[in-house]
Structure 1
């Protein structure tokens, strides 16, 4: 009998718990129900595509539309257009051939300066030796230019392996402009 009385006490406590927290149990039940239905709707395919037994058959062959005054056009042959008062200088003129732009005279200044080509550009080396001397020829000049007035410490560099090795070195020749630094 003690077992039945203890079971009755447990059931009574459960009933009072449900009565006092009825809204909580109802909300939990609704949430569980919605989650289960949400999973069921997501598992089915909803593409809207349907299977058909065969492709629809065409009953009529396609034919061009009948001519109406809206879609009739004049023949293109023999039509002349007016220039609407534009001068004759605006009409298409003969274009210049690029060969006419290059000198061909053996006595020209070009031929005397470039004797290899004898007046033509074929096999002529237009690069002069030493042309680039003194113009950004050092490896580090302005590759990572810092245009700030104040100097800042260089970014630290460390060996990270065979890849991602920088070739830009810190500018150690830059004069620092902070107070107490350099020859001030």
Structure 2
């Protein structure tokens, strides 16, 4: 077994250091997702990597959304969201929903969407789409954690997910 060089070893950091935390999290690869919501409060969407499964009984996942987002109230009022797992062909779309395009209608115009029974929008060629009903939410620091019970799933058998690593 090869010994790690001093340069390759993880440096200890103060647990309260937010900059060090963000730098370390940048080294963790994650799928890129567009989270959509549609309902009585309107239509919105944002790009997120903070998404994870919670349990498979009942199928539930979580999404984290910055509390300063102007869309927080709309997502909570609609009570639904859809996680669209992007493929490596969706780099431009990810940028649009990350804020490179401010107008929501223009964001949606940059993709091919299907309306789900919940009223949410699913990207037609997403790697996977999870249609969810918000069953709980909690404010933790700078973000809301939205827990969604999965109402429906669409996925395709081919394609490669878009991954975010080292801030790119």
TM-score scaled by length of structure 1 = 0.17
Larger RCO (alpha carbons 8 Å, 6+ apart): 2
TM-score normalised to structure 2 length: 0.18
Identify the structure with the greater helix proportion.
1
